[in-house]
Amino acid sequence: MTTNKQLEIFLDIATEAVMAAGAIVQSYWGKLEEIEEKGRPGDLVTIADKEAEAEILKVLSRHVPDHDILAEESGLIGNNQSDYLWAIDPLDGTTNYAHQYPMSTISIGLLISGKPQVGAIYNPFRNELFRAARGLGATCNRKPIRVSHTPELSKSLLVTGFAYDRRETSDNNYAEFCHLTHLTQGVRRSGSASLDLTDVACGRLDGYWERGIKSWDIAAGVVLVEEAGGKVTAYDGSPLQMESGRILATNGHLHDQLSQELLRTPPLSSWR
Ligand code: IPD
Ligand code: CA
Ligand code: CA
Ligand code: CA
């Protein structure tokens, strides 16, 4: 059993790491000399991603050397035997960052026995630090946050994203995007999954869904939304499977409605 005191300690470690990485991300803003492609077209990585991740790894190795780590740019570190797995996205919104579109965060979540329990997300562009731990609430810049009250889809503003494999599969979220655009006041696409989850957690947006997502994108944001009073599941409302790549996160009130609409999305060919 992890005590509340331990959760608080882990949250402080995550906070130290996101803030240290944030300073690095800020230091390279507008100064990138080279932007690499990782394989798929448009799947970018920069020196800011790499150095921010290295800094986070340093902080974790100082405080929790025996925990496992799954980091976007380094992969799995450790022997996968620990109950504790840190899921790290050193720069979530790399495409935005590379284009100097100021919409990116640093996201660090801690899974304990496979379940997200602690999360810290820092948005250096809004200077917003989001923190949450299971049972201990969610905050933005140390003030408690809550999800929105929006009661139904027709009054909602949603957000989604499109994974890097979108050109290779017909399961690319385009049909869902069209369907929900018609049923709501709008669907946004920020380009940063963890930013989307912070915006749901503090009530700026009413719901978020995405496919093809990785655990480092969402581990912190899941705890944040749930601790802010929202709901996070698979598309069909069943418990979230971190490895499934599909997530539905809402203010809770319109969760069932959004789930139903995702499941009955008509094919793209029905849109003109
Ligand atoms: C991406 C962003 C984007 C989402 C992609 C992610 P990255 O992460 O979160 O919003 O749609 O699926 O891969 O590569 O910028 O860290
Ligand atoms: Ca990401
Ligand atoms: Ca990233
Ligand atoms: Ca990436």
Domain boundaries along the sequence of the chain: 4-144, 153-270
Pocket of ligand 1 (CB under 6 A): 89, 92-95, 161-163, 191-193, 210, 212-213, 217
Q: Does the domain at residues 153-270 carry the CATH identifier 3.40.1160.10?
A: no
Percent of the chain with pLDDT over 70: 99
CB 11 within 8 A of CB 108: no
Which residue in 129, 128, 109, 124 sits closest to 24, CA to CA? 124
Burial zone of 168 (CB within 10 Å; 0-12 exposed, 13-18 middle, 19+ buried)? exposed
C-alpha angle 70-128-4 in degrees, rounded to nearest 5: 60
Lowest-confidence region among 37-46, 63-72, 99-108 = 37-46
CB 214 within 8 A of CB 233: no
pLDDT at position 272 is 61
pLDDT at position 71 is 98
Confidence of residue 39 (pLDDT cuts 50, 70, 90): confident
> What distance in angstroms lies between residue 261's CA and the mean position of ligand 4's atoms?
29
Predicted confidence (pLDDT) per residue in 3-27, tens digit: 999 999 999 999 999 999 999 999 9
pLDDT at position 236 is 98
Distance of CA 40 to the CA centre of its chain: 21
Alpha helices in 109-214 (DSSP H): 174-183, 193-201
Q: Global pTM?
A: 0.98
Q: At residue 271, does pLDDT exceed 90?
A: no
Average pLDDT over residues 148-159: 98
From the CA of 99, the nearest ligand is 1
Across 67-92, b (16+ Cβ under 10 Å) vs e yields bbbbbbbeeebeeeeeebbbbbbbbb
CATH of domain 4-144: 3.30.540.10
**92, 165, 187, 189: which to mutate for ligand 1, most atoms within 8 A of CB?**
92
From the CA of 96, the nearest ligand is 1
Confidence of residue 249 (pLDDT cuts 50, 70, 90): very high
Average pLDDT over residues 122-151: 98
From the CA of 210, the nearest ligand is 1
Average pLDDT over residues 256-269: 95
**169, 187, 217: which to mutate for ligand 1, most atoms within 8 A of CB?**
217
CB 137 within 8 A of CB 224: no
Confidence of residue 269 (pLDDT cuts 50, 70, 90): confident
The Cα–Cα gap between 201 and 153 comes to: 17
Length of the chain, in residues: 272
The Cα–Cα gap between 31 and 128 comes to: 22
> What distance in angstroms lies between residue 94's CA and the mean position of ligand 4's atoms?
6
Burial zone of 109 (CB within 10 Å; 0-12 exposed, 13-18 middle, 19+ buried)? buried
Predicted confidence (pLDDT) per residue in 54-95, tens digit: 999 999 999 999 999 999 999 999 998 999 999 999 999 999
Please report, as a single letter, which amino acid is at residue 232.
V
> What distance in angstroms lies between residue 6's CA and the mean position of ligand 2's atoms?
27
